């Protein structure tokens, strides 16, 4: 699913496009440093998580309460997702990935946590949408169902693409990017 951009920015709804392109510009950032904080905040508005994102971003820490709510909600989403019998093992493996992912965040290892988050999102998408999640037009497909959810899966595909500002970026920028997904799934 995330081997190539799941959706071009031109396929994004107009109201999301400029913020999405500000977060993940096709040609990267001229200085290689990444987007300013206002771009993250604008993207959080598009995802419908602006207030939670703002509070967490301003506090500078993820917090045990958020991580606990995130894990509980993600566990519930995974456990309640109906899958074919052959895919039950995938659910268990995904559940096993969550505690080490949270430990990476608690340790402040945001770069590694973002990589793990991309893998978690890939599996979660498969559990929700099956083989459709592995198609190049997956995010476009989900946007037709629900634009905000489609934008979230577009984001998931984008964090999985190698980008210099993510790979070499400031730990706080990577944290802000990670926080977008955590907030969204906590409120899903």
Q: Which pLDDT tens digit goes with each residue over 37-56?
A: 899 999 999 999 999 888 87
User: What is the structure's pLDDT at 142?
Assistant: 93
What would the pLDDT profile of 120-142 be if each residue is shown by its tens digit?
999 999 999 998 999 988 988 99
pTM, 2 dp:
0.88
- 153 phi, psi to nearest 5 deg: -70, -30
pLDDT per residue as tens digits for the range 74-108: 999 998 888 888 888 899 999 999 999 999 999 98
pLDDT at 60: 58
Tens of pLDDT, residue by residue over 9-37, are 567 888 888 889 899 887 778 776 788 88
Whether residue 181 contacts residue 121, with contact meaning beta carbons closer than 8 Å, is answered with yes
Q: What is the DSSP string of 83-137?
A: --GGGHHHHHHHHHHHHHHHHHHHTT-HHHHHHHHHHHHHHHHHHHHGGGGGSTT
CA 114 to chain centre: 8
Averaged pLDDT, 66-73? 90
């Amino acid at each position: 699913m995330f081997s190539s951009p799941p959706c071009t920015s031109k396929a994004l709804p107009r109201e999301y496009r400029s913020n999405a392109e500000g977060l993940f510009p096709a040609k990267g950032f001229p200085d290689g440093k990444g987007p300013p904080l206002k771009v993250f905040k604008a993207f959080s508005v598009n995802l419908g998580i602006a207030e939670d994102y703002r509070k967490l971003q301003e506090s500078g820490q993820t917090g045990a309460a958020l991580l606990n709510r995130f894990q509980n909600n993600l566990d519930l989403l995974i456990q309640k997702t109906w899958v074919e019998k052959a895919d039950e093992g995938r659910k268990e493996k995904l559940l096993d990935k969550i505690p080490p992912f949270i430990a990476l965040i608690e340790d402040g290892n945001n770069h590694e946590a973002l990589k793990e988050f991309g893998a978690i999102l890939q599996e979660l998408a498969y559990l929700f949408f099956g083989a459709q999640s592995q198609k190049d037009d997956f995010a476009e497909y989900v946007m037709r169902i629900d634009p905000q959810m489609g934008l979230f899966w577009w984001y998931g595909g984008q964090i999985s693409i190698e980008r210099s500002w993510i790979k070499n970026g400031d730990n706080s920028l990577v944290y802000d990017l990670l926080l977008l997904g955590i907030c969204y799934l906590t409120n899903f």
